[in-house]
Structure formats: structure tokens, C-alpha cells
A = this chain, B = another copy of it.
């Protein structure tokens, strides 16, 4: 399996294993703790992907039950390490996608000022919640894992600031 046929979730798996995750559950925990605000993964995608990657020889798994509880520990193979490096080193334009239903509503609600204010309030609330979640995750730093966190926080704050301005403007009208 070449690096370019690595699925998005496959990349996350390789990356997390490289950073020290062991099991599928473990990877999911890491994702939820560290990357979920810019890259989410669900179990329904994760477990099939683990099997797929193993079939393709990028990872290797061995059963390591905890008592009677089934548990499978994975590690990168050499091919897997190469595939990960190849992806990290490839300088294609990285994917960047946003889907923001709140903005979409705002965009379509032009003719209804009452609804508009309500929508803006909902967006604001959502972002407040997001900010709280991010801040609960740990300390933003200038390097290491806290680095991406600091971006998330910066962006959320910029978003909130925009909300405030927009709300002020709407009320004035």
C-alpha cells in the first residue's frame, strides 16, 4: 500500500501509534483529547481501519488481553513508519474544510431580523462552549501538543469577537 492510498483515518492511526498509542480505544482517547477540534475520528471508522492497515502491512497487532478483557496492541511496521513519513513530508496542499451550519443559517435568514438575532445567539453560545472545552483540555503552549490547542483557542476567540460585533450591529438596526 503506497502512502498516497492511505486513507485519512489511516493517517491518524499511524500518527497516533507513532506518538505512543497502543490500542484502538487508546487512539480514540488521544484523538478526543488532542485533535478532535480539528480532526475527529469515530470507532466505526477506526476499528475497520486498524484491520485494513494490518492487512496492508503498515501496522502489526498482537492480542494482549487485560485479564479476561480482550485487548489488541498495535505498533508500526517499517512500511508503516515510511508511509507516515511520506505523508508528513509530502508537500501537497493540505486539506482544510469547514462546515458551519450557524453561518449558513445566518446567511439565509437575511429577511428575518428576529430569527437572525436568535441564530447569532446560538452561534455565540456554541463557541463559548467550544472555548470552555478547549481550555479544559490543557495549557496552550508554543510547542508540542499544546501548540494546536493554542490555535484552536485563538480562532475561537476571534470568532466570539466577531459574534459580539455582529450582535451589536444587529441590535442597533
Asked if A19 CB lies within 8 Å of chain B CBs, one says yes
B166 contacts A147, C-beta separation under 8 Å: yes
B159 contacts A151, C-beta separation under 8 Å: yes
Asked if A170 CB lies within 8 Å of chain B CBs, one says yes
Bound complex: CA of A143 vs CA of B151, how far in Å?
27
> A126: which of B16, B88, B93, B122 is its contact (CB, 8 Å)?
B93
Contacts of A170 in B (CB 8 A): 143
Q: State the Cβ distance, A120 to closest chain B Cβ, in Å.
A: 10
Count this chain's copies in the assembly.
Answer: 2
Asked if A4 CB lies within 8 Å of chain B CBs, one says no
Q: State the Cβ distance, A11 to closest chain B Cβ, in Å.
A: 7
B169 contacts A12, C-beta separation under 8 Å: no
Contacts of A151 in B (CB 8 A): 103, 159, 162, 166
14 contacts between A and B (CB under 8 A): A15-B108, A18-B108, A39-B98, A39-B100, A39-B104, A40-B97, A88-B105, A95-B100, A95-B101, A96-B126, A142-B166, A150-B162, A154-B158, A155-B155
A→B interface (CB under 8 Å): 8, 11-12, 14-16, 18-19, 34-35, 37-40, 84-85, 87-89, 91, 93-112, 115, 118-119, 122-123, 126, 130, 142-145, 147-148, 150-151, 154-155, 157-159, 161-162, 165-166, 169-170, 173
